[in-house]
Structure 1
Amino acid sequence: MKRSVVAVAVAVVAVATTVLAGCGSGSGSGASANPSSTVDASGDTGGALNAVGVAPEVAQKVNGLPLAGTPGSGLTRGVTATSVKVGCVNLNAFFPNPDTAFKARIDRANAAGGVNGRKIDFLGCNDDGGSADANLAISKRLVEQDQVFAMMQFSTFATPQVTDYLNQNEVPFYGWGFLPGFCGTRWGFGFNGCVVSSGISSIPYGWALTANNSMFPASGIPYQDIKVAFIGTDNDSSRSSFDDAEKVLKADGGQTVYNKSIMPLTGVTDYSPYIRPALAEKPNAVDLNVGLATFGQVVAALKGGGYTGPVFNTSGYLPGLLERQPALAAALEGSYSLSVIPPVEMKTPFNDQMVKDFEGANVQLSQATIFAYAQADMFLSQLAAAGPDLNTKTFDQAVNGGGYTYTSSTPGGPASLPFPAGHFVPADCGAPMQVVNKKYVVKGPYKCFTSVQTRP
């Protein structure tokens, strides 16, 4: 299945916005797994505890669409009577030490007897060093030599050459659904679904995340009064994501007064020429899609131009990072962002268990480790659904046959996600966050929304 250039470019922006996530982070020592502030959502039965990630009408639209990839043929690669072998590839520079979180979740499952009588034999993670060719070579070794049944892919270099190989060889692979290989494929499972469908022409429908715009009313400005300036870096993915956001904003009754992604990602010393045209349109809200390394300078240019309203950055929620990088915390002060799963600052049974698992295994809290834990939780759920007679056919039938929905192992985790719909649409959920006194603060409940169709 051929992927569009726009979708591949989304990964570049994801790297740009999270490029500082790995800086100053270690494997286990350092920042505590405990969040710096807490909102109790343990009684939020209508939100965080029972979040449904895909609206029924959206799921109905995509159910029945053909999946790319080899149907399960009954392979037992990596499966014995007592174990299931799992591999991992990551990009450690940007997503450091996800193996510690994978292992923390898997160790708890193994301690409870495994899944259907089988322990998980996790081989640890291999760093691809930022090379798609290295990722492919490692993936092939894990499949053909180490004989893994499934694989965790936590790298922006899991390009179509990698995911097509895994998809053709009946290897379930798990990751963050902003890469094209997690969209429309039989064996690719984003823990938050497929979030880049708008940019992938090979699947028939595109969907915009309504949750992303839920940051706006968290600032106190109702949709009917908001006038947003979207300012982004000069790439197709920024333009695509902002076009989606503008469609959602219009559906919610808001107004877009400026939408341009023309700012160079690097090499700029004076951002005012890119800010002045946006401020001339008199916005009362500014949504930025810029690298965190330059976020403070862009905000300074906004303030220097007389802007005093709220600033938004969808990708600005990076748990654990503010404590490790005070300068970044100062740059993000006051800005709003979004957590796509219930944030660690929100008390839920899932988060309580995760923090306990992290502390027991000395896992450092970060975006990478939280998302890795979520991926492992989904894999364990799907493994259980496949039943004791485990092979690629029983797995495929159980998970992609239309009767399976991922639900977190304890309430208050990632939103429930039905498959095969999750191969085509996102889990459209989020909680608005704000940086206050250099800490993330929850500014609203964790909610799920109906995605807006962007094409055809």
Structure 2
Amino acid sequence: MLRPIRTIATTAAAAAALLLATACNSASTPTSGSDQGSSVRGVTDDSIKVGGIVSMTTASGYSKKDTDLGAKARYQRANDEGGVNGRKIDYAGAEDDGQDPGKNLAAARKLVQREKVFAVSPMSSVTFSGADFLQEQKVPTFGWGTVPQFCGPTYIYGFGGCMVPTPGGTITQSWPEGLADVLGGAKGRSVAILANDNDAGTFAIRTYQQSFATAGFKVAYAKAAVPATSLPSDWTAYTKEILRSDGGKAPDVVVSVMQTPYNIGLFTAVKRAGFKGVITDPTDYDPALLTKEATKKALDGVHVLLPFEPFESGSDRMKQFKADIRKAAGKEVPLNMHMMTGYMSADLFLAIAERAGKELTVASFQKAAAGFSDTDTMVGDRALPKGQREAFGCGALVQLKNGSYEVSSPFRCYEPIPFK
């Protein structure tokens, strides 16, 4: 069901969940809750220091390094326009956590205790073990809210809201509703959902079983079965189960809640097995993936879920984003969703900091956040503290066709459903 608000052009992201493994060390760090002007950590009369944490390297080779470029682009434009209430953004860049829990926590400690940042934006990693430390140290932190740590803590904000359902919360319906749009309706259509065999995958299966069923799909298969620590060399066992899951025949839709290297293997295998239905994931919106023929072939026809306005949009805000990225990179570069993650994380931080006024402290920042709302952004209409409990509920799908992406379901906002 569509939410009765304006249509823009983007999509909502998929939920990933990882258990929190944290330790805290608050020793000798100046408290960010201080209200004494220049004594506020990271704030001087003419600057605000911000840092980031990004999985630039991972064991599987998957990288989010362009998240850093997206953040730089948005901060650079803010500085070109005079800064925030007269203060320039001093962006320290992003620490690489290697998608490792220990490194994530170490990066958080370094940014707060050594770099003395006022805020962490962006934070882009499925391993957010530094969350407890940042919350305890009262560090405003911004990123893509696809892990549970973005749902509930008072100092941690998802640029698209909290995208991981919590007890008493809701599930955003942009993915199944977008696919229903592609298929001309969900009635009589079946889906098979596959995820990694870890906490994130188990949670994703629980979430999307509810989500797709509520939208009217028959969930024929839903398993968190693929090893998360190593790529399978043979996908036959998975494809056999999936392609017989709907009463002995193939489902109408294969849904992968995994990262790109896994998707390439799975999609190649199901295509070779003769699957002719719809394939979809929340990850593979990246023109750089198209430079390799095998990768391009594997992803051809795939519908990708987005948490933001597609790059194919012709809106003024998208034109501004592209110009900002080009300026920060110093040249034309292929756009990808990681750039948008960094850009919109920075954008939400800047919007709240602006409203906090000239006397910037953590207390004034949190007060501004508590009543914050705006409209017509590249992630839809934003509102806090709602966004710390549920997603903003908007999404779009793009399809890779003949080497380029096309919008297959435009950005819309949908009514969420209760999470059970």
Query: Does the alignment reach a TM-score above 0.5?
Result: yes
Q: Does 1:373 align with 2:343?
A: yes
Q: 1:275 to 1:354 in 2, by over 3 A?
A: same
Using the alignment, how far apart are the partners of 1:270 and 1:446 within structure 2? Answer: 36
Partner residue in 1 for 2:400: 435
Using the alignment, how far apart are the partners of 1:270 and 1:250 within structure 2? Answer: 30
CA contact (8 A) 1:100 1:369 kept: yes
Q: 1:233: how far off?
A: 3.1
Q: Please, which runs of 5 or more residues in structure 1 have no aligned partner?
A: 1-44, 54-69, 199-203
Say how many residue pairs are matched: 382
Partner residue in 2 for 1:213: 176
Q: 1:82 to 1:289 in 2, by over 3 A?
A: closer
Q: 1:436 to 1:146 in 2, by over 3 A?
A: same
**Which shifted more, 125-134 or 342-351?**
125-134
**Which shifted more, 380-389 or 129-138?**
129-138
**Which shifted more, 322-331 or 168-177?**
322-331
The SS at the match of 2:409 is coil
Partner residue in 2 for 1:110: 79
Runs of 4+ in 1 over 4 A off after TM superposition: 70-73
Q: 1:353: how far off?
A: 0.2
Q: Deviations 1:291-335 (Å, cap 9, x if unpaired)? A: 43243443343344443211122323x233234333211101111
Q: 1:427 to 1:111 in 2, by over 3 A?
A: same
Partner residue in 2 for 1:195: 163
1:167 to 135, 139, 145: 135
Partner residue in 2 for 1:62: none
Using the alignment, how far apart are the partners of 1:279 and 1:148 within structure 2? Answer: 51
Name the amino acid aligned to 1:250. A
Using the alignment, how far apart are the partners of 1:126 and 1:298 within structure 2? Answer: 31
Q: How does 1:347-386 map to 2 (within 5 A)?
A: 347-362=314-329, 364=333, 365-386=335-356
Name the amino acid aligned to 1:77. R
Q: 1:152 to 1:118 in 2, by over 3 A?
A: same
Q: 1:144 to 1:322 in 2, by over 3 A?
A: closer
Name the amino acid aligned to 1:398. A
Identity %: 29
CA contact (8 A) 2:192 2:242 kept: yes
Q: 1:71: how far off?
A: 10
Name the amino acid aligned to 2:104. N
CA contact (8 A) 2:150 2:156 kept: yes
Using the alignment, how far apart are the partners of 1:223 and 1:313 within structure 2? Answer: 17
Partner residue in 1 for 2:21: none
Using the alignment, how far apart are the partners of 1:96 and 1:132 within structure 2? Answer: 17
Name the amino acid aligned to 2:203. S
Q: Does 1:86 align with 2:50?
A: yes
Using the alignment, how far apart are the partners of 1:71 and 1:86 within structure 2? Answer: 13
Q: 1:127: how far off?
A: 2.3
Q: CA RMSD in A?
A: 2.6
**Which shifted more, 432-441 or 174-183?**
174-183
1:151 to 120, 131, 145: 120
Partner residue in 1 for 2:8: 48
Name the amino acid aligned to 1:349. D
Name the amino acid aligned to 1:355. K
Partner residue in 2 for 1:58: none
Q: Deviations 1:152-209 (Å, cap 9, x if unpaired)? A: 243426533x1111111111111111223211011111111111234xxxxx424222
Partner residue in 1 for 2:35: 74
CA contact (8 A) 1:208 1:451 kept: yes
Q: Does 1:259 align with 2:219?
A: no
Q: Deviations 1:15-40 (Å, cap 9, x if unpaired)? A: xxxxxxxxxxxxxxxxxxxxxxxxxx
Using the alignment, how far apart are the partners of 1:338 and 1:147 within structure 2? Answer: 36
Partner residue in 2 for 1:276: 240
Q: How does 1:169-184 map to 2 (within 5 A)?
A: 169-184=137-152
Name the amino acid aligned to 1:414. V
The SS at the match of 1:380 is helix
Name the amino acid aligned to 1:251. T
Using the alignment, how far apart are the partners of 1:122 and 1:257 within structure 2? Answer: 48
Q: Deviations 1:258-295 (Å, cap 9, x if unpaired)? A: 22232335453432322223322232222123443243
Q: Does 1:307 align with 2:275?
A: yes
Using the alignment, how far apart are the partners of 1:158 and 1:295 within structure 2? Answer: 20
Partner residue in 2 for 1:6: none
Q: Does 1:425 align with 2:394?
A: no
Q: 1:126 to 1:250 in 2, by over 3 A?
A: closer
CA contact (8 A) 2:150 2:162 kept: yes
CA contact (8 A) 2:76 2:328 kept: no
The SS at the match of 1:416 is strand
Q: 1:315 to 1:391 in 2, by over 3 A?
A: same
Using the alignment, how far apart are the partners of 2:32 and 2:264 within structure 1? Answer: 48
Q: 1:112: how far off?
A: 1.4
Q: 1:182 to 1:272 in 2, by over 3 A?
A: same
Q: Deviations 1:390-437 (Å, cap 9, x if unpaired)? A: 11111111112xx21154xxx451222211111111122111111100
Q: 1:375: how far off?
A: 0.9
Q: 1:140 to 1:260 in 2, by over 3 A?
A: closer
Using the alignment, how far apart are the partners of 2:315 and 2:216 within structure 1? Answer: 32
Using the alignment, how far apart are the partners of 1:297 and 1:171 within structure 2? Answer: 39
Using the alignment, how far apart are the partners of 1:190 and 1:385 within structure 2? Answer: 18
Partner residue in 1 for 2:22: none
**Which shifted more, 343-352 or 129-138?**
129-138
CA contact (8 A) 1:215 1:433 kept: no
Q: 1:361: how far off?
A: 2.2
Partner residue in 2 for 1:224: 187
